[in-house]
């Protein structure tokens, strides 16, 4: 599934993060998503995680140089996948290693959901047991409740990215400018509300 945030960028040098417009998927993807809500939820959450990681890294690496950016993170860039972006975010000090590992497991779980015929695969349960939110409760993860553990990990990762974005925005906020200046919703606020 190729769900993707479509966003508008402000003028060059803008201290505010990009603005969220909508999430775009194809009609075929929508029909498939309606058939299997759990599978589609995992796939869409992974696509959203990919996009927020991309925005986080781009905000950290401002000012943007389009040719370098496309080579690094663009459609066929060196860091096209979630795992690579999570590792880079960790190396840049934007997220903790545990969060990076959870993001990698979440992406691996997405791949299991996308390619495994049944969501009760032992491999899938094993991946979910590796999430930091499971902790010492590995034996408690079952086919009936594994999505609860998954959702906690996604929430934890999203909170870490939102906090990192807020720190970047705060670092760039001009002296004396009030927080949240302007009346349009920023991507940071949109991600925090997911």
Q: What is the pLDDT, as a whole number, of residue 1?
A: 44
User: Would residue 185 count as lying in a domain?
Assistant: no
Tokens of 88: 């880079």
CATH of the domain at 49: 1.20.120
Lowest-pLDDT choice from 38-42, 69-73, 82-86, 110-114:
69-73
pLDDT at 6 over 60: no
Number of domains in the chain: 1
Question: Which DSSP state fits 182?
Answer: S
The boundaries of the domain holding residue 18 are: 4-176
Residue 190 lies in a domain: no
Backbone CA torsion sign across 54, 60, 61, 63: positive
**Within a domain: 189:** no
pLDDT tens readout for residues 66-95: 677 777 776 677 777 788 999 999 999 999
* Element containing residue 156 per DSSP (H, E): helix 146-172
* Pairing of the two strands 4-8 and 19-24: antiparallel
């Amino acid at each position: 599934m190729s769900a993707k945030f479509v966003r508008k960028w402000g003028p060059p040098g803008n201290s505010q993060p990009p603005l969220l417009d909508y999430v775009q998927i194809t009609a075929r993807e929508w029909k498939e998503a309606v058939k299997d809500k759990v599978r589609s939820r995992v796939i869409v959450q992974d696509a959203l995680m990919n996009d927020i990681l991309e925005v986080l890294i781009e905000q950290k690496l401002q000012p943007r140089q389009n040719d370098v950016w496309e080579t690094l993170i663009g459609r066929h860039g060196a860091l096209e996948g979630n795992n690579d972006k999570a590792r880079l975010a960790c190396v840049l000090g934007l997220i903790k290693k545990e969060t990076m590992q959870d993001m990698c497991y979440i992406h691996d779980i997405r791949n299991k959901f996308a390619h495994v015929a049944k969501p009760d695969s032992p491999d899938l349960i094993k991946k979910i047991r590796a999430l930091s939110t499971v902790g010492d409760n590995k034996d408690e993860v079952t086919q009936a409740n594994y999505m609860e553990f998954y959702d906690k990990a996604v929430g934890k990762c999203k909170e870490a990215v939102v906090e990192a974005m807020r720190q970047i925005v705060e670092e760039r906020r001009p002296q004396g400018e009030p927080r949240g200046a302007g009346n349009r919703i920023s991507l940071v606020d949109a991600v925090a509300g997911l």
